[in-house]
Amino acid sequence: MDTIETIRYTGPALKVRTQVRGGFVNRVVIMLGSIARQLDRMLERRRGRLALLEMTDEQLKDIGVSRCDAHREGIRSFWE
């Protein structure tokens, strides 16, 4: 089992705009936005993995995951 994907919230995205075009500030804003999105994805993945650990055997059976696979996935680090 590689990774169990989770359903993500797809609400309105946070958009950051700057009046400076093509400058250093613009590149920094883009880079920080990219880092924030990556952190959001990692934390969302971690929340999904923790949810697997809280599921009952019946719930895991419904989604086709064994308790062993759920535990293995649940203890992985958030950056993996």
Residue ranges covered by each domain of the chain: 24-74
Percent of the chain beyond pLDDT 90? 55
Q: What is the pTM of this model?
A: 0.59
Given a cut of 70, is residue 19 above it in pLDDT?
A: no
- The confidence score (pLDDT) of residue 79 equals 76
The band of 80, judged by pLDDT with boundaries at 50, 70 and 90, is confident
Given a cut of 50, is residue 20 above it in pLDDT?
A: no
Mean pLDDT of 6-10: 61
22: left (phi over 0), alpha (psi -120 to 50) or beta: left
Amino acid (one-letter) located at 70? A
